[in-house]
Every structure is written in C-alpha cells, then in structure tokens.
Amino acid sequence: MKTWTLRALSLLLLVSPALAQAAPDPAFSPERLARIDRLLQQYVDQNKIAGAVALVLHDGKPVVERAVGWSDKEAGRRMTVNTVFRIASQTKALTSTAILALVEEGKIGLNEPVGHFIHSFSKTTVAVPHGSEVTIVPAKRPITIQDLLTHTAGISYGTDKQVAALYEPKGLGPAAGNGWYTADKDEPICDTMERLGTLPFVAQPGEAFVYGYNTDILGCVVEKASGMPLDQFIRTRITAPLGLRDTRFFLPPAERDRLAAVYASGPDGLIVRAPEGSKGQGSYVDGPRKSFAGGAGLTSTAHDYARFLEMIREGGDLRGVRILSPRAVDLMTTNQSGTLHSTTGLGFGLGFETVDRYGASGMAGVGAFGWGGAYGTMYQVDRQSHTVIVLMIQLMPNSTDIQTKFSTLVYQALVK
C-alpha cells in the first residue's frame, strides 16, 4: 500500500500543471513550434473556436503546453491547462482498456459471445433495407467482444433511416441527442444496453465497420464481468493508479466552473453558444448521475488524458504502475479489422484507429494510433517519434479543421 501511494504521488507531481512546464527539447524546432501558438490564437481571434488546450509529450515530457482563449466566453472565464472537457468518444479508449484488463484476468474472452454477459444479445437481428421496405432478419452469428472492440458488430447509434423509428421509442437513437448521449438517463447503463439488444442492428456481425453503441455495450460487460459499476472499475483500476484525478463521468457541483462551455459552428463557420440539453451542454454536473456510458460519457483534462496515453505508448506501464501487458497493448494498437474500417491505409485495433501506411493520417508514422470525440477533442500517439498529441476544444457540431492542422504543425516541428 505504501509503495502504491508513493508511485501515485510521483504521478500526481508529473501531471501537476504548476510543475509540468514545457521545456526546450532538441528534437523540436522552437521556431517551428511557435507556429502552433499562432494557429491556436488565429482560430480564437477569428471566432472559429472559443478556446483550446494543446499538450504534446515527447518521451513523456511536455514540449507544447498551451491554453488559449475562453473556457466560457459569456462568463468571462479564460481557458487554463486545468480546464475540464467532455471527451465523448475518447472515453472508448479507457473502456477498451478495462475490457483488456479483464481479458488478461480470464474473466472475458475476446471471441466470447456478448450474450454470455447481456441476455438480450444472445440472439440479435439485423434490419435489411429493400428500397422503401425494411426486413428484420436474424444475425448470422453471435456478436463477440472483439466485434465490439473493432466496431464490426453492425451496431450503429440508431439514427439510420432503417432503424431510427424503432430506436426512438426505446430512448435510443434520435431520442438520445445525436444517438450516443446517455448522461441524462435515470437508469444504469446495463438497463439501457439490455433494451438495445432487443432492437435490430444495421449490418451482420463481422461484415462492416459501423460506428455506434459498441463500447457502451462493453461498459456493461465490464460491470457484469467485474461485479462493480463502470465508474468504480475505471477509477480503481485505471485512473487512481495513474494519478488521474480529473477523469470522471460527472463533475462535482463545486467544480462546475472548471467545465468548458460547449459552442457550435454556425452556418458561416463562426461559433455560437450551444443550447442546454443533450445536443449541447449536457448533464455532466447536474443530472441523475446513474448512466456511466463507456462509449462517450467521461470528462477529463488534457494532462490526465495525455498521461493515460503515455501509459499505452509505454506498453501498459507508467513509471512502475502497470495497467496492461505489452502484448495486450500491441493487440489494441494493431489493425484487427482488415480493410473494413478503411481501404486507404487506416485500420482499427481493439479501441484505437491505427495508421498502417505513411500518409494515411497526415505526417503520423506507421504504427501511430488515435481517435477523437464529438465535442472536437482529438489525440494521436506516435511510437516512431515518441510523441503523444492531445487537443481539447468544445465544439459541436464541429466544422473546423483545427485538429488536422494542429497535428501537422506538431510533426513539422519535429526535426530530429
């Protein structure tokens, strides 16, 4: 217990904004890094984003650490490196990590049917469109854990034309914001996922990459296999051991001013404040606090998320705190879906999009991996260059290209 406490304390010191100042790094050109400052400030000045936090680690040390603009323009709150963001689908990486941890314990099998954990998934169906008609047919085979991790189970967010009318009365699809939002639900996530299993999906298992509720289902599987709520499992097995104090499903009311406001891109590309509710600010402070959505429910800071990614980059261990084995990390960060996700050099592993060809994702090297979130957040981990790249904004819908430009400006500054 004493050893763990000392390790956790050292990690907390590493992520403390007051101590983790970006220092000169000979691998990066200072003049070229300055282009990042200009890019971020330009987008704030042009009213394309309200503000942003950018963090780049090289061999675990910050070389870029910037907070620009506003966390809440109307309230007059400036962005800081401590600002908390809704990370939406970046939650998927932590839930996938939780699944792999349970796989390593023998409590879950990658090829195990999901129906072993959630009864309604024992026999699933698929909605097949025929012109204006839709036929509901049985799935050709059971959906497996690996199908969910690679988003090849055929499960969407229920907003598709052929299933939307069936999902909405069940509180899913169009009734859940943009499909993925459950923070306002007054029920545990497993209740929602049991109901999902009774609805038809949009493709046969293993036949297509379909982005949707897959990782929310996995969150329920974590609860069933571990015997504890998802928030507790992630806290005790991932975030607390790594010293990540600000990665949570819901913020305490006393910390509401730390949460950045959500903005939306208007028709002219300029931002306006997003509305309250499921398609805007969400219920991440006030609300039932019962639905721990493994696919899109977490909030976090750039520092927290970068340290989590550094653990993955280091093969599952961060300064003596081991979360996964190197073999499990390799599974997660290697393409496991063939060409179902992309035919242009991108793949999808067990929770991460992978770069299989140089040029498929800008200047990211082969073997890099990453993803993003619906509120405009993004990340990329590049083992070739030993870098972790994180950009946090709050913009939904998102019509800005700042994510790809930011990534490019990080790589162009890397000169060794």
Look-up: residue for tokens 């299933």? Answer: 163
Sequence spans of domains, the chain: 33-90+231-412, 95-229
Per-residue pLDDT, averaged over 144-149, amounts to 98
Q: Which residue in this structure is represented by tokens 């939306």?
A: 264
pLDDT tens per residue across span 297-316? 999 999 999 999 999 999 99
* Average pLDDT over every residue of 182-204: 98
CA 377, 378, 380: angle at the middle one, nearest 5?
160
Confidence bin at 123 (pLDDT 50/70/90): very high
Which two structure tokens, joined as six digits, stand for 368? 């890099």
Helical (H) or strand (E) element with 6: helix 2-15
Fold (topology level) of 33-90+231-412: Beta-lactamase (3.40.710)
CATH 3.40.710.10, applies to 95-229: yes
Please give the share of the chain, as a percent, with pLDDT higher than 70: 95
What is the Cα Rg of the chain in Å?
21
What's the whole-number average pLDDT of the chain? 94
pLDDT tens digits for range 3-36 = 444 444 444 434 433 334 467 899 999 999 999 9
